[in-house]
């Protein structure tokens, strides 16, 4: 039994799929190198990432299957599920057989697995658009921190580029130690780690105070339902919300 391993990048995964096709091999699994499932009967083959080969695969998915399928595999990959590489490989094998009809085959487990992962990522990305809270720093940069379950930073970055094209801003994925930096209508995603107090200006402090007070004043005390609130906005998001007193820990003293 052959298992391909790769460096954990999307390009690395697509390169592994390319090699499987051109080597005429049928790997049982395609796994990230740091998520190996050791098996005495498996032969592990590490595939070096080649961006040219990866681009060929991605272009082939869009042209021979559909742009929707290309988006599905990207979103499934961003779920960071340990089996995502294998699921994507099996989904694409089916897609290259039946073309754009692949996403209609919802009863097929290969399609169902990809749709499930893709939907989870899509839902969280949509939810996060309403939960990002920017804070104005003394240097004029807007900063927001998030800790999503899935790696959605690249998805929501495009939304905020369109919404805030003239501002300098940073969205920091604390969980993954990465951030998107936006300047002059361009953005880049890079490794980033910051745990210190935020250098907030007085204007931002005043705004946060007013926003918290407004949030408390509009609440109808007889209708407060913590259980329902947690269902619509899970606790894991709360510490990054300005309007909930005592949850933001990155403000400067």
What's phi and psi for 198, nearest 5 deg? -80, 135
* 12-16-21 Cα angle (round to 5): 150
Tokens found for residue 36: 């190996």
Tell me the average pLDDT across 219-234: 65
Over residues 132-153, the pLDDT tens digits come to 999 889 888 999 999 999 999 9
Instruction: Give CA separation, 79 vs 142, 192, 201, 242, in Å.
Output: 27, 20, 36, 27
**What is this structure's pTM?**
0.83
Q: Which sequence spans correspond to the domains of the chain?
A: 2-125, 135-240
In the predicted model, is pLDDT for residue 58 greater than 80? yes
The share of the chain scoring above pLDDT 90, in percent, equals 67
Cα–Cα dist 4/240, whole Å: 39
Query: Quick check: 84 and 46 in contact, CB under 8 A?
Result: no
Confidence of residue 252 (pLDDT cuts 50, 70, 90): very low
Q: If you compute the radius of gyration of the chain from its CA atoms, what whole number of angstroms results? A: 22
In the predicted model, is pLDDT for residue 206 greater than 90? no
Tokens found for residue 136: 């104005």
* 158-70-23 Cα angle (round to 5): 135
Say whether 50 sits in a helix, a strand or coil. coil
Q: What does the mean pLDDT of the chain come to?
A: 87
Cα–Cα dist 95/147, whole Å: 33
Cα–Cα dist 39/225, whole Å: 49
Q: What pairing do the DSSP bridges indicate for beta strands 186-191 and 178-183? A: antiparallel
What is the model's pLDDT at position 210?
59
Cα–Cα dist 146/173, whole Å: 5
């Amino acid at each position: 039994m052959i298992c391909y391993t790769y460096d954990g990048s999307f390009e690395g995964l697509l390169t592994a799929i390319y090699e499987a096709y051109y080597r005429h091999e049928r790997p049982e699994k395609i796994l990230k190198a740091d998520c190996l499932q050791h098996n005495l009967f498996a032969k592990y083959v590490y595939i070096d990432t080649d961006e040219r080969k990866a681009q060929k695969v991605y272009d082939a998915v869009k042209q021979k299957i559909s742009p929707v399928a290309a988006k599905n595999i990207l979103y499934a990959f961003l779920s960071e599920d340990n089996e995502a590489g294998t699921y994507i490989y099996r989904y694409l094998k089916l897609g290259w057989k039946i073309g754009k009809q692949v996403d209609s085959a919802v009863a097929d487990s290969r399609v169902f697995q990809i749709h499930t992962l893709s939907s989870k990522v899509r839902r969280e990305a949509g939810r996060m658009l309403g939960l990002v809270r920017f804070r104005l720093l003394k240097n004029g940069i807007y900063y927001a921190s998030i800790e999503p379950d899935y790696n959605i930073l690249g998805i929501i970055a495009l939304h905020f580029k369109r919404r805030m094209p003239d501002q300098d801003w940073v969205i920091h994925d604390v969980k993954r130690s990465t951030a998107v930096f936006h300047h002059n209508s361009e953005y880049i995603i890079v490794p980033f780690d910051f745990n210190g107090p935020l250098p907030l200006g007085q204007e931002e402090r005043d705004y946060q105070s007013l926003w918290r007070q407004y949030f408390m004043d509009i609440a109808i005390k007889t209708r407060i339902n913590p259980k329902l609130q947690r269902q619509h906005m899970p606790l894991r998001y709360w510490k990054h919300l300005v309007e909930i007193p005592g949850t933001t820990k990155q403000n400067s003293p």
